[in-house]
Amino acid sequence: MSGKRYTEEFKLEAIKQVTERGYKIADAAKRLGVTQKSLHDWTKNMGMLAFSIRLYQASRRR
């Protein structure tokens, strides 16, 4: 794996462009200079993490 590494802050801001500001992944990726696959993967992984956190929190309330 020899691709460019991005900070977590950069990834979070990129994800926000898609999830909060409504940009299409292709448009946001082009603007940010990252591949569509990278941005798609970051968004997907963040969604899975958020879902896992919600499940954990729900189980703790029982």
Q: Domains of the chain: which residue ranges?
A: 8-61
CA distance 18 to 24: 6
> What is the pTM assigned to this prediction?
0.76
- Confidence class of residue 4 from pLDDT cuts 50, 70 and 90? confident
- How many CB atoms are located within 10 Å of the residue 29 CB? 20
Per-residue pLDDT, 31 = 96
Q: Which residues contact 15 (CB under 8 A, 6 or more apart)?
A: 39, 42, 43, 46
More confident residue, 46 or 33: 33
Residue entry with tokens 């940009």? 23
Q: CA-CA distances (angstroms) from residue 49 to 4, 32, 43? A: 23, 23, 10
CATH topology for 8-61 is Arc Repressor Mutant, subunit A (1.10.10)
Q: Per-residue pLDDT for 2 more than 70?
A: no
